[in-house]
Structure 1
Amino acid sequence: MKELIVYPTPYLVQQHKMRQLQGKKGVAGEEPVTYEVFIDKCIKHAVAPKLFLGDFKKSLVLSRIVRKLKIQNKLDYFDTIRQGYIQRIGEVIGELKQQDIDTNTFDAIKSNKACHRDLALIYKTYQEFLKDNRLYDQEDRYILCKQHILESNLISHIDKVHFKEFYNLSPIQQKILSILGKKAVISNSDLGPEMKQIKVIKAHNRRAEVIKLAQVILEDLQEGFLPYNLCIVLRDRDSYEHILLEVFKHMGIPICLQLQAALVQNPFIKALIKFFQGESSEYFSGEVPDEDIQNKKASMIEWTDLVNSILKNKGFPLRLCDVHGKDIVWLKRDLNAFESLTNVLDELNDVSQIFSAETFDLQEFVDLFSLYLKSRLYTYSSSNEGILVLSPVMLRGLKFDKIYVPGMVEGEFPRDFRSDWLLKDWERVNFNKKGYYFDTLDTLLEKEMEAFDFIRASANIGYFSYPNVADDNTAVLVSSYIENLLGSNTASIENISLKSIYHFEGTDYTIPEPGVISDNTKQKLKEYFKGKPFSATAFNMYGECPYKFFLARVLNLSPQDEDSEYTAMDKGTVLHKILENFFKNHKEGLEAKKLDEYADEIKTLADEIMESLCLKENFLHPLLFEIEKNKIAE
């Protein structure tokens, strides 16, 4: 019997694979996949003649549609476009599709309010645009899956599809599973509270709270807890992630965390906007647009082509190396921003080719371009190794030895939800009376409680904390969830002083000699290997080196390649191979009139040879790899 496992999050897929490596078998069959991957595989044949419209392009399209309808005087409520309107319209359209509500159905169930009439018209115009241009968006994928799932090659070769840890299915998900019939099997882990030990800490402020958290984790690591069996849970990431990254970096604790910001906040992007406004910067030193650009009136395609041309002529992204020198952190940040900027320009170009040409002067372009850059996020700092940092909803079905939950503040967890201005709470309630499942304030609070149940079911040991004051020094209330925890356990709130945090002595954290394992870790290893079978290969490895065995068979680490950096020897090898291949191709000699042709050939050889030597992984960023290729070719 061929079976497939589908999980709602990538973390569940990762944990499933880790358990298989540890000898804990799951359901036999293909490798587990996320729900999103499952959808993509099921609609592969249906979307072949279409193009996908991502969220950013969706916002661009909706923005153009709203502006066009406004010019035609067809809108009553959205006659003035305010910040956030387009994003919220897009979100509600996505929500309607998740409920499997098409344009005709929404037109029939909507109220006669001006905002609903406008929303129905925008939704209808948007769907007609997608159909006319053979496009589909994120939510259309689910509708296409519902329509074509039984025709897919994937499902025709699968006997059972196990949907695990979904708990609450959306209407469109329920319909997809209903179509699968007996092939679909739903199973969820018990959400009964597993926590046996609970500790609650009250700190002076968020920074003191995070410092204490880091100290506790250091003690736990010293006690023998493994990083991949620990998890930090953040309900309000914005309030904690920067402090968390700073404190944990200072204390040498690796965490898996990505920091993102609006692209317009990046210094290089700010400098680009200032350049078009006539201001110089270290990125565009002493340079301003010439008079032709200042008086230019052009289409969006022409403006994006101009931006690309200016960046190329100014030497970007290579010029970023000159700006930052050896400061790899800032260089990587700006390279990420440059890459995101390139994608934005490409997407603007794609969308602009579909619409009729509309012209803008320089200031109009800068204003519109800045607006788009505000809505686009880029990753300016990331770490993919260390203790996981997850939101509560991502904890569903996961199992850890211990979890840490800072920010247990009323209004943050549970969140203080506000009624939606476009589809108000009472309107959502009325829709639900007609058989739909829109989120209301009550159901959102129920989902918050369910998310806290995910936390309680995820580990035997829980560490919770909250600050005494908020960022503006106003007093906060402890979360009602903490009060419920204390009511069902013997734990109490420990009030820590600033002195105890900033004069932390704790355990002796001296680094042991290589290969020496502490008594606590030895006990953990004894429990880990109890009753575990050993292969001949494992015995041989242990005989060669017990510490090597520990790294490979316990921590699942693989040795780092010796050539993990791009060295002068690598560069010499590349140059040697380029010259060798080039002169092999021209044994008869070279001709002066073919210099341009030879230059193109050398660039092609550089590309082929560096790719064949697998040197890309030795660079901190893909763009650095491209820059080095161009340098060698020159």
Structure 2
Amino acid sequence: GRVVVVSASGARDEAWAAAKETLRLLNEGVPAHEIAVVARTLEPYRLALAEAFASEELPLDLSCGEPVLRHPSAKAALDLLTLRARDFPARTVEDLSGSPYFTGAEAKRTAKWRRLIDALGIRAGWLQWRGKLEPRTGGPVELRPHRVREGLPGEIIPAEDAKALWSFVSGLRETLGEPPATWSVRSEQARVLLAAHLRLPPDAGTAERDAWGAVQDALSELAAFDRLGEPCSWEDFLDSFERKLSRATRDAGDGRLGVRALDAMDARGQRFRAVVLIGLKEKLFPRQVLEDPLLRDGARAALRHPAGYWIGRKAAGHEEERLLFYFAAASAKERLVLVYPRSDEAGKASVPSTYLRELCRAAGLPAPGEDDTRRVPRQPAERLRSAPPDLLTPREAGLLSVFDGGSPDPALGAADLAEALDRVAALNDRGAPGAYDGLTRPIAVELAKLRKSGLSPTAMDLYATCPFRFFAARVLGLGEREEGSDRGELTPQARGLVYHAVLERFYSGLSEVEWEGKKDWGPVFDAAAGLVFGENDWRALGLYPLLWESARIDMSARLRSFIEWDLERLRAAKV
């Protein structure tokens, strides 16, 4: 018939039904650009529709109404301009420098930046960037000092690469911290920053260009705020910029990309030979319209005046929803497919749209749920059986054959699959050991290195816990990533390094009389702790000064307790 009602369970089944109905229409000779899939809002269905149409290998244009910030080019622009406002999170800096749009440095240099950030333990906060990165711009940075101490090769980041990273973040901080200026000046400064660090590739797609164009349009619109006559800070400018981008969406395509997926608002005034209308349930289409609890419709009606401020009534939203449904249904010239969810993915019953009920009554069709034209079962096997064989994909046909106790051979091509598996086995066959299999360097050389450098308790504990982790970290150099501090606490690695350094200085500086307890060892400890804490201050560790002072006092107390216990133990053993 010209009007078809389909029921499904949940958004994914609705999308599956929409894809099958589209395939049915294509088989009947309806061109793809003459078919539209319409929903009140596409957001709940965007991912499900993309997956369902991709599995059917059907062209679907989902560009209409797509949020601009979903595209990496717009996201990169927002990340760059808001780095200072968010206090330079390391993950964002890494993502930004690794973006294909980033032009501030070559790919080889940005890869070194990421390794440098990881090795220094930078996580977030300008204090960490200034304390951990700036002091290391004067020379090469060794990323694996523990390997060097054990006589193994390390990894050095050249000084110019460290300087380039520091120049990037410090330059952004300086530019994005300038005093208030006019909106047009702020807009031009933002354009200059974007042009200096980001650029679309020559082969950029339509979606990338649309998103980048939306960024430029937002900056142009903000420049018009000069009419307010007030200067703006970077904080106010970026807040407005982010709100504009978060509301920006892509325009509807021209129909050349296949089946059109549209919001009901964008489908107004357009005509198609066939329309698949999905999401027909209460509170979705029509959406739930609630009266403003602070300004009731009666008060709004009293405030309305033709010569004054025309304030709308919230109840008018019901008429708007009805009109949108009418436009969406009327956009179909030949065929209208109405898909509604009788339940959600969990099986909870849903209420069909009142508009669907009214349309079925006007068209002389049974009410939704009484005698639907097509019904999509929830069970996978029953869902596949409900579709005609000519609408099933090879994968679905193979699954249905297995569900029915048969073989998937006709659908999957068992001969080709067997041949592929045989080739995989041949590729994985290592054959007999060769002349060089099992050869290693002389064990005596490795043992001599270990006797010279020794194994730390941490390394021995790691080996006892997991030999493979020890092999990967200590032999292959694939050390585990150590999370940097979040300016509120020291990482275990940083705390351990401070403990080791203080104890090493203390015991190496302890005299015989202090060992024997004839003289107070407190001054020796104070001198050792003062030197180590001075070398590892709050700037180098990326902590707030007050938090570092608290951590310093705590570590000092713990070290004093340990030293007192250790000296008593050693003296008792000597006696």
TM-score between both structures, scaled by the size of structure 1: 0.41
TM-score between both structures, scaled by the size of structure 2: 0.45
Higher RCO (CA 8 Å, separation ≥ 6 residues): 2
Between structure 1 and structure 2, the one with the greater Rg is 2
